[in-house]
Amino acid sequence: MNPAAALRLGDLLVSAGLIDRPTLDEALRRQSAYGTRLGEVLVAMGRLEPEELPALLGLQAELRDGAAEPQVSERLRLGRLLVEAGVAVS
C-alpha cells in the first residue's frame, strides 16, 4: 500500500483488520450512491460503533500530521479487543 492510501480511512481500517476489503468496497459504493461520509456509512452498516469514529478520525489526522506512527494496526486491534472484552470503554 502506498503512503497516501494508508491515510485514507477505509485503507487504514482494512490494514488494521477492523474491516475487510469486501466491506470497504460495499461501503464505498454506498458512499458514492448516497453522498455521505465513509465513516457514517460504516456506522450505518454496523461495522463501526458511533463512539469509535471520532477516535479513528483523530488517528487518521495524527498520521497525516506525522504525530502517530504508521504501524497502528496492532494498537487498533488491541483497543477494539479491550473494549469488546469490557476491560476498556470507547
| pLDDT above 90 for 20 | yes
Confidence grade of residue 74 (pLDDT, cut at 50, 70, 90): low
Residue 7 CA to residue 38 CA, distance in Å, equals 13
Confidence grade of residue 90 (pLDDT, cut at 50, 70, 90): low
Q: Please report, for residues 1, 13, 54, 57, the alpha-carbon distance to residue 30 in angstroms, rounded to integers and kept in the order given.
A: 23, 17, 20, 19
Q: In this predicted model, what pLDDT tens digit does every residue of 31-41 receive, in sequence order?
A: 999 999 999 99
